[in-house]
Structure 1
Amino acid sequence: MMAILRGNSPMQIRSALLALALIILSGSQAHASESGYAGMDTCRSCHQFGDDSPVHTLLESAHGNADNPDTPVAQRGCEECHGPSADHTRSPTQVAPAISFGPRWSATVESQNDQCLACHGDNTASHWDNAHHKQQGLACATCHDIHTTADTVLSADSQAEVCTGCHKAQESGIHGLASLADSNPPCTSCHNPHNSRTPHSIMVDNRSRGCATCHNLVAMASDPQVSARATSYHKVMVQDDKTCVSCHVGIAHVSAAGVPPLIPQAQQSSSVTLFYPGQSDSEWLLSEHAGSQSLRQDRSCQQCHRGDEEEMGASLATGKLKPATRDVEIGFQRSGQELLVTLSWRGSLQDRDIALMWGDDRNEAFRQAGCFAACHDDMPGMTRDRGQQLDKYLLVSRLQDRQIGRPAIIRDEAALAELKATGKFAEVWRVNLEDTATVETGTLLAGIDWHEDSLVAAEAQFADGRWSVTLLRPLDTRPKGLHFGRGQKLTVGIALHGVDNPGAGHWVSLPMTFAIDGINTDFKADW
């Protein structure tokens, strides 16, 4: 070993040590003889492609410690977490590993978490069954990454980067001051993401450790800026059942009134911010996007990005489009057996058309991503546009996506009909503002099939710099269209096109939810 290390560069030493570790770990190949297992050597033959490969970073992490008999690599290697995957090795582009964590494939949240809890269920996540994060359908891999030398969410310095991906109200930091964000204590000083304990009970146990990172009660007692009254109150902190938040309720973050409710409070009308989307296609969202794991596991864009529209629009539209966002007032009203939708926004005669896209609750992809579920990298103006002039479509309509050397395979008519019968389609309403508000409706699946007779009647007016559009549609248009009846939950997205930003350059909303009776949805029309 010393001969290997002497006279070599740090990179050479690192490579040598990794090679030695792989030799030591070759014992995991013995499991290849077990039914369905391929063995770690077989996995490495494809996935060990360089110093930044998932194999190398895993081996440098705690899960890659071969001296610890409880780690994955000391047992079945990759397949300790990914399950028996011999079929995947025989057809790696067509067959997923037994348990996949993405980005190409994703197993269910339950099956992913079972792999983690097999080792961690008795300690770190012993109360996971009662955790709020479990109730929200999160997977361990939503926050954790074991294919890295240092898991971001486990580091006090970087933990907030992960947590504020969803908890936007806390982004500005303790006391709501962005200037103090770098010195904020880690979120887990007060919160335990693996159970449902309250911050107060956690702070009782750790004696308000998070607050104590900056605040010293002894020093504050002699600080002239701290009043005598406050100093006397601080004396109660010697009691074991008292914490800083016993008095300073809500000081750590914004006020409760400033936090969007986890469960939407249905409104009949509200302002919706549309933002410039750039080239956020479905392929990118489901693979390279930081939230791809959450999307593949039935969470929606809105759960993480609600309130981010202005920031996203500004970052995506830099040097391309002004304004980066547009605010549209939308309202819903039931008129007999018809649904009346009103849209109003400040604009100009350069606004070319406005469109609504709808899907019911059985359409998982549309429920999660709204309009983005129909946006793909091979459409005109997108990242892999090859001049095919492909229209919008839903991925569920394809047996196989088009890739290099592989043509797209669209499901046959019988399969597409079955998808429509089970609600796996979207409905499009498009109002042409340049031609006295003509309106088209269509069914979106393998493409858009425009209806010969529109399901919607529309009127549009432009006055004093403001557009007003009304749309009227029968509640029940089955089987041609969606059913808007009582108890039916739908997802809707809005897109606005201008003369200067056609195609992929339009403004678009996050997915929003609607039901006539407004149970757990953003909008309602009241039955």
Structure 2
Amino acid sequence: MQRSGSTTKPVSTAIPASPTRRTPRNSTPGSSKRGGQGIETMMKALRICIAGIALLGSAGAISQGEEGYASGGSELCISCHDFGPESPVHAVMAGSHGTNGDAEAMQDRRGCEDCHGPSANHAGAPTQISPGVSFGPRWSASSAAQDGTCLTCHEENVAAHWGDSLHMLNNVTCVSCHDIHTGGDSVLFESRQAEVCTVCHKAEKTGMHGLDKDTDGGPPCSSCHNSHNHESAKTEMLLNRSEGCRTCHDLVKMAKSDQVSDRARSYHKVMANPERTCIECHGGIAHATTDSVTSFAPQPGNSKEVTLFYPGTTTAEWLVENHPGSQPLRQGAGCQQCHRGEEAAIGQSLAGEFQPASRRVDVSFSRDADSLRVQLRWKGQRNDQALSMMWGKGGDETFRRGGCFAACHDDMSGMPGNRGQQTGKYLWSSREQRQQIGRPAIAKDQAALAKMMEQGKFVVMWHVDLNSGKARTATLLDQVNWRAEPAFRASTRFENGWWQVDLRRSLTHQASHVLPFDPEGQYTFGIAINGADNAGGGHWVSLPLTLRSSGEDSDFKVE
């Protein structure tokens, strides 16, 4: 099929780098563009604290209306959540989800609590009790609870088949794509849909037909795809008569064009049949070919190349609060779901002057009767210092999703959010109270931590000094506890510019602090290399990876 009267504008085909969190530690002071935003964010946070303190001081004055709803309604919510004329609450109140419509339509509306549920208790103690349904990073409700709120109104129309959609099955919630706290929800505007969809659907970043055309100039994603159900593109195209294709390909003009053959003009007459679509003849050409895009799902094998990247000062807090993918991450998705194949680009976006931004490591697994063996090879420098691996077996959910990043936090020594605490790596599950403004993180008592250890809710670390070959292990929960471990051995070698590290872990040794490796288990692991002159930030890490003995849903398998 020929294009008639259309032009293309070449653009870069490189995968856009993931947004950076903070200026890397070796950037020029004052070079960050986030400084003004940081001050504004702090002022907003202070206003919330002041309002929260005022409400706490008068908690008895917060009366409950019907079924736990706040008697003050949205006005009470805005008394805390109003950050000025540009506040998101004003945008949502002015839209279809607010209460500013005609009186008849708004008769039974509650404003904020229509979506956030009965929240009188939250209004009485805003820093201690969550809203009825929370969509934010703190107290994030389950995906079912969040979607259930939206389906209350939308299940009978646009989301009638949401329960069967691939988005729902992959932990993508309504608010992963839709933002009602704005003057205009991007995904509802044809010219801006691709900005939202291509965050995950990376094959479409190159535009229609892979012609590097700016995605803004192509047809909207919804002209062929219905994101709220599991139907194929053909179903949607039957309903709209291949509207997406006809955005560029005008059949009337093509019938008169010298660039279209007589045979093609004859074939195009079939489109007069309402039971036909363009993709019945032109299937598979709308987007880039599948072999040009990194697979969405892992491709298991016993050996493959893994890309490690410079992580900057990325922490678990940023990942679940300010990261563009924080919503699916909070609802159960892992880093690999969106970033598989983007490791080098992420490193480049974070590295600044620190080079190299990424390093490629050949990783292979094997096993014999009593040992798990791991070999890692990479092109490096003689003064590379150490190699580390973290291992978990599902005992800690944040590690399963975020890998090594689950152990790095704002209040750690060397992090920009540290305020003098001598804090090392830890898991959130070990904290009775997470760090908040004006409130330090508080670890659980020893009895609770001991019980978590018994239940296997910890992570194991392997560490190898590259120069001496000395190997040691640690358990990670409320802190890192190093210990000599006879069940773990390592050998190192540097030759012709290449490091080779061979690790061996006994499968028969059992202890309370040892992660058991069994044939049926699936394990999450991460890899890190510490470079020369490492001051805490000169290292490279992997995204979370998986290992199991069999099956097709892991990155590595060992038989």
Normalising by the residue count of structure 1, what TM-score does the alignment of the two structures yield?
Answer: 0.90
CA RMSD of superposed structures (Å): 2.1
Range moving further from structure 2, 456-465 or 37-46? 37-46
Q: Deviations over 1:276-301 (max 9, x none)?
A: 11111011111111111111111111
* Residue 232 of structure 2, aligned match among 198, 202, 210: 198
One of 351, 355, 363 as aligned partner of 2:384: 351
AA aligned opposite 1:234: H
1:103–1:287 CA contact under 8 A, matched in 2: yes
Q: CA deviation at 1:185?
A: 1.1
CA drift of 1:410 comes to 0.3
C-alpha distance in structure 2 between counterparts of 1:403 and 1:32, whole Å: 28
Q: 3-state DSSP class of the match of 1:441?
A: strand
Provide the residue aligned with 2:557 in structure 1: 524
Task: Describe the SS at the equivalent of 1:491.
Answer: strand
**What is the Cα deviation at residue 128 of structure 1?**
0.9
Q: 2:470 aligns with which of 434, 438, 443?
A: 438
Contact 2:98–2:112, Cα closer than 8 Å, also in 1: no
C-alpha separation in 2, matches of 1:495 and 1:447: 18
> 1:217 offset after TM fit, Å?
1.6
> 1:299 aligns to what?
333
C-alpha contact (below 8 Å) 2:99/2:111 kept by paired residues: no
Cα distance in 2 for residues equivalent to 1:150 and 1:200: 29
Q: 1:518 to 1:497 in 2, by over 3 A?
A: farther
Match of 1:341 among 374, 392, 401: 374
Structure-2 change in CA distance of 1:237 and 1:35 (3 Å): closer
After superposition, residues 66-85 of structure 1 pair within 5 angstroms as 66-68=100-102, 75-85=109-119
Structure 1 residue 240: Cα displacement: 1.9
What's 2:173 paired with? 139
The answer as to 2:178 corresponding to 1:151 is: no
Quote the Cα distance in structure 1 between the aligned partners of 2:106 and 2:119.
Answer: 15
Contact 2:164 2:229 in 1 (8 A): yes
Q: Which residue of 2 aligns with 1:408?
A: 441
What is the rounded CA distance, in whole Å, between the counterparts of 1:416 and 1:448 in structure 2? Answer: 13
How do 1:365-380 residues align onto structure 2 when only pairs under 5 Å count? Answer: 365-380=398-413
Q: Which amino acid aligns with 1:379?
A: M
Contact 1:64-1:73 at 8 Å conserved across structures? no
Partner of 1:464: 496
Aligned equivalents of 2:302, 2:172: Cα separation in 1: 30
Measured in 1, the distance between the counterparts of 2:330 and 2:212 equals 32
Question: 1:322 aligned to 2:355?
Answer: yes
Percent identical residues: 49
Secondary structure in structure 2 of the residue aligned to 1:240: coil
- Once the 2 structures are TM-superposed, how far is the Cα of residue 342 of structure 1 from its aligned partner? 0.7
Residues 60 and 454 of structure 1, relative CA distance in 2, 3 Å threshold: farther
Residue-by-residue CA offset, 1:301-351 (whole Å, 9 max, x unaligned): 110111111211111112x21111110111111121210001011111131
Contact kept, 8 Å, 1:67 with 1:74, in 2: the verdict is no
Q: Which residue of 2 aligns with 1:428?
A: 461
Whether contact under 8 Å (2:99, 2:109) holds in the other structure is: no
Gaps of 5+ in 1: 1-29
Check conservation: 1:427, 1:482, Cα contact below 8 A. Answer: yes
Structure 1 residue identity aligned to 2:381? S
- Cα offset, 1:138, TM superposition: 1.8
> Alpha-carbon deviations, 1:488-521, whole Å to 9, x = none?
1111111111124442342111111111224411
Aligned length: 496
Map of 2:417 onto structure 1: 384
Q: Secondary structure at the match of 1:88?
A: helix
| Residues 300 and 553, structure 2, Cα contact 8 Å, conserved in 1 | yes
Q: Deviations over 1:184-235 (max 9, x none)?
A: 1111111111111100121122111111111112222333333333333222
1:90 Cα deviation (Å)?
1.9
Q: CA deviation at 1:72?
A: 7.8
Higher relative contact order (CA 8 A, sep 6+): 2
How far apart, CA to CA, are the structure 2 residues paired with 1:491 and 1:141?
A: 28
Q: Quick check: 328-337 or 254-263, which moved more?
A: 254-263
- Deviation, 1:262, is 4.1
Question: Equivalent residue for 2:202?
Answer: 168
Q: Deviations over 1:383-433 (max 9, x none)?
A: 212343321111111111233432321001111122223332111111111
8 Å CA contact 1:382–1:504 kept in 2: the answer is: no
1:412 and 1:72 map into 2 onto residues whose CA distance is: 50
CA distance in 1, matches of 2:145, 2:535: 43
What SS does structure 2 have at the residue aligned with 1:280? Answer: coil
1:247 equivalent in structure 2:
281
Q: Structure 1 residues 332-341 or 415-424, which shifts more?
A: 415-424
What residue is the counterpart of 2:123 in the other structure? Answer: 89
SS state at 2:485 partner: coil
Secondary structure, counterpart of 1:171 in structure 2: helix
Helix, strand or coil for the counterpart of 1:267? coil
For structure 1, which segment, 105-114 or 396-405, has the greater mean C-alpha deviation from structure 2 after superposition?
396-405
Distance 1:271 1:237 in 2: 47
After superposition, the Cα gap between the structure-2 partners of 1:333 and 1:233, relative to the gap in structure 1 and judged at 3 Å, is: same
Deviation at 1:485, TM superposition (A): 0.8
From 423, 439, 452, the counterpart of 1:419: 452
Q: For 1:146, what is the secondary structure of its paired residue?
A: coil
Q: 2:236 is matched by which residue type in structure 1? A: I
Is the CA contact 1:347–1:465 (under 8 Å) kept in the aligned structure 2? Answer: yes
Equivalent position of 2:69 in the other structure: 37
Residue 404 of structure 2 aligns to which amino acid in structure 1? C
Change (3 A) 1:268 1:73: farther
Counterpart position of 2:292: 258
What is the alpha-carbon distance in structure 2 between the residues aligned to residue 431 and residue 368 of structure 1? 25
- For 2:292, give the aligned amino acid: G
- Counterpart of 2:23? none
